[in-house]
C-alpha cells in the first residue's frame, strides 16, 4: 500500500514540475514578443557639425494609377469623349516622354532624359527638343533598359537649367504621352524642385486612346506601333518613343469617333523668353545601325531635328573627330558612335551635324582645288566622303581635269554630255556659290 502511495506521489510531482516549466516558457515567449514589438530606443548620435536635412520629395496628391478622362492630376487635366460642352483642340500637341532612374518620384527617382515634339493634328512634327539630364547624384538605374550610364549624364544640364525650354514647348499645346500618369508624376516633381508652378495643362493619354481604338493583345507603345506599321527603332530612348507616339496620334484621333474634348484650353505664357537656350541640351543618338543608308544616316535620324547655335569649341571638336574618322574614306560603327558622343556633348541636332558635315566637305573641296586642278582620284575621294556623310550627289557639279606637259589644265576628263548640276551653298543651300563665298557668312 505504501509503495502504491509513493508511486502516485512521484507522478503528481513530475506533472507539477512539467506544468511549471511550461508556464515559465510561455512567460518568456510573451516577453520576447512584447520586446520585439516595442521600438528600440537609442541614444541620439552626436555630430561635430549640424546635419543637413534633405528636402522631402513632393507628395503625390492624386491616387490615380492611370490617366482617367475628366480627372485632374498634379499637372495635367485629362481629355475624354466629347460631350459637345468642352474645349475642342485644333492646335498643336506637345508629345512628351521621359526616361527615369526608377518608378517613384516620391522616393527620389529623377528624370534623366526628356524629349518633346510639337506636332499638328496630322502628326507633322513642327519642332523637337531632347536632352539628357543630370539627376544630381542619383544613380541612373537600369542601364540595360534605357542605355544611360552615370558617366553619360555627369555633365548634362539640370532640369532647372532647361525648364524654360521645356515650358516653351508645352505653351499653348495639349500634352500627349503614352501612359501619361507616369510622365505627369515625374514632370510635376521636377517642376516642384525647380520652383515652378503652372496651371493645369490639358492632356491626352495615348495609352487610354489606344485602348479605345486598337484591337491588339496589349496596348504597349511597341505593340501599337508594330500593328500600325510605324517603326520604333530606338525604344526606351525618349526621342524614339516620342516620334512613335506622334505618328500614332493622328491615326487614333481619326479612329475615335466621339472626338476628344478637354475641360479648358491650353495654358499660355508659361515661360521666360529671356531664359530660352541659356543652357545647351545634351543630345543622344542611340541604337545606331549601318543599315542600307550608312552609319551617318543612322546618326542623323536619331538626333532631334535641330537645336540652337553650336559653339566654336564644339564645332572644332566635331570637325577634328570627323577628319580622323574619314582618313580612310569611310565611317565604321565605332567611329559613328564616337561622333555621336561628340555631337551630343555639343548639344547638336541633325541640322547642326549636317551643317558641320557640309562644312567639312567644303574644306576638302577647297583643299583639292588648292592647285586649281581636280584629278580623277581627288574627285573619287570627294564623292566617297560625301557618300559616307549621307550627302550623295554633293559633288555632282564637279568634273575632273587633266593637265598638259607644262602642268596647265588642258580639258575636263570625261566631260558630261549635259550641263552640270547647279552648285548649292553648303550653308544657305542657294545655287550659284560655295559655302566659303556665302553672303550670309562673309
Q: Encode pLDDT of 209-260 as tens digits.
A: 999 999 999 999 999 999 999 988 888 899 999 999 999 999 999 999 899 9
Q: Average pLDDT of 139-146? A: 94
Give yes or no for residue 25 having a pLDDT over 70. no
Mean of pLDDT over the chain: 85
Q: What is the pTM (predicted TM-score) of this model?
A: 0.79
* Strand-pair category, 174-177 with 201-205: parallel
pLDDT confidence of 9, banded at 50, 70, 90? low
β strands within 178-280, DSSP E:
201-205, 260-261
Return the higher-pLDDT residue of 344 and 372: 344
User: Rounded CA gap, 366 and 434, in Å?
Assistant: 10
To the nearest 10 degrees (0 to 180), the angle between helices 180-193 and 206-213 is 170
User: Rounded CA gap, 80 and 149, in Å?
Assistant: 38
Look at residue 430 in the predicted model and tell me its pLDDT: 74
pLDDT confidence of 34, banded at 50, 70, 90? low
Look at residue 290 in the predicted model and tell me its pLDDT: 93
Look at residue 403 in the predicted model and tell me its pLDDT: 64
pLDDT confidence of 51, banded at 50, 70, 90? very low
User: Rounded CA gap, 176 and 223, in Å?
Assistant: 18
Q: Encode pLDDT of 294-323 as tens digits.
A: 999 999 999 999 988 899 999 999 999 999
Q: Average pLDDT of 154-161? A: 97
User: Rounded CA gap, 72 and 77, in Å?
Assistant: 4
Give yes or no for residue 74 having a pLDDT over 60. yes
Return the higher-pLDDT residue of 351 and 406: 351
Q: What sign results for the dihedral spanned by CA atoms 134, 135, 138, 142?
A: negative
pLDDT confidence of 56, banded at 50, 70, 90? very low
User: Rounded CA gap, 265 and 201, in Å?
Assistant: 8
Q: Are 242 and 93 in contact (CB under 8 A)?
A: no
User: Rounded CA gap, 173 and 91, in Å?
Assistant: 7
pLDDT confidence of 400, banded at 50, 70, 90? confident
Look at residue 318 in the predicted model and tell me its pLDDT: 98
Amino acid at each position: 500500500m505504501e509503495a502504491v502511495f509513493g508511486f502516485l506521489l512521484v507522478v503528481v510531482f513530475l506533472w507539477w514540475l512539467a506544468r511549471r516549466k511550461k508556464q515559465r516558457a510561455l512567460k518568456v515567449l510573451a516577453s520576447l514578443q512584447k520586446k520585439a514589438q516595442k521600438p528600440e530606443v537609442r541614444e541620439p548620435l552626436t555630430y561635430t557639425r549640424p546635419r543637413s536635412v534633405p528636402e522631402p520629395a513632393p507628395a503625390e496628391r492624386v491616387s490615380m494609377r492611370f490617366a482617367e478622362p475628366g480627372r485632374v492630376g498634379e499637372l495635367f487635366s485629362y481629355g475624354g469623349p466629347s460631350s459637345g460642352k468642352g474645349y475642342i483642340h485644333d492646335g498643336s500637341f506637345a508629345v512628351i516622354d521621359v526616361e527615369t532612374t526608377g518608378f517613384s518620384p516620391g522616393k527620389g527617382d529623377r528624370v534623366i532624359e526628356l524629349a518633346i515634339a510639337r506636332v499638328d493634328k496630322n502628326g507633322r512634327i513642327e519642332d523637337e527638343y531632347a536632352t539628357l539630364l543630370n539627376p544630381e547624384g542619383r544613380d541612373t538605374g537600369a542601364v540595360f533598359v534605357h542605355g544611360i550610364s552615370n558617366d553619360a549624364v555627369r555633365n548634362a544640364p539640370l532640369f532647372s537649367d532647361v525648364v524654360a525650354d521645356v515650358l516653351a514647348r508645352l505653351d499653348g499645346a495639349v500634352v500627349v504621352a503614352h501612359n501619361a500618369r507616369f510622365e505627369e508624376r515625374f514632370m510635376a516633381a521636377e517642376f516642384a524642385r525647380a520652383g515652378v508652378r503652372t496651371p493645369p495643362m490639358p492632356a491626352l493619354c495615348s495609352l487610354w486612346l489606344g485602348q479605345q481604338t486598337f484591337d491588339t493583345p496589349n496596348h504597349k507603345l511597341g505593340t501599337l506601333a508594330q500593328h500600325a506599321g510605324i517603326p520604333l527603332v530606338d525604344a526606351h530612348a525618349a526621342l524614339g518613343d516620342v516620334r512613335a507616339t506622334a505618328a500614332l496620334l493622328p491615326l487614333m484621333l481619326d479612329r475615335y469617333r466621339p472626338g476628344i474634348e478637354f475641360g479648358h484650353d491650353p495654358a499660355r505664357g508659361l515661360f521666360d523668353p529671356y531664359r530660352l537656350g541659356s543652357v545647351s541640351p545634351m543630345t543622344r543618338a542611340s541604337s545606331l545601325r549601318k543599315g542600307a543608308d550608312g552609319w551617318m544616316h543612322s546618326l542623323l535620324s536619331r538626333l532631334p531635328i535641330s537645336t540652337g547655335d553650336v559653339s566654336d569649341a564644339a564645332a572644332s571638336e566635331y570637325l577634328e573627330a570627323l577628319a580622323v574618322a574619314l582618313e580612310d574614306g569611310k565611317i565604321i560603327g565605332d567611329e559613328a558612335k564616337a561622333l555621336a558622343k561628340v555631337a551630343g556633348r555639343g548639344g547638336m541636332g541633325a541640322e547642326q551635324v549636317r551643317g558641320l558635315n557640309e562644312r567639312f566637305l567644303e574644306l576638302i573641296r577647297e583643299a583639292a582645288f588648292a592647285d586649281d586642278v581636280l584629278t580623277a582620284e581627288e574627285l573619287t575621294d570627294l564623292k566617297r566622303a560625301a557618300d559616307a556623310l549621307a550627302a550623295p550627289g554633293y559633288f555632282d557639279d564637279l568634273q575632273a581635269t587633266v593637265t598638259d606637259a607644262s602642268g596647265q589644265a588642258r580639258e575636263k576628263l570625261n566631260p558630261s554630255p549635259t550641263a552640270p548640276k547647279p552648285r548649292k551653298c553648303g550653308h544657305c543651300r542657294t545655287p550659284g556659290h560655295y559655302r566659303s563665298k556665302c553672303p550670309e557668312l562673309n
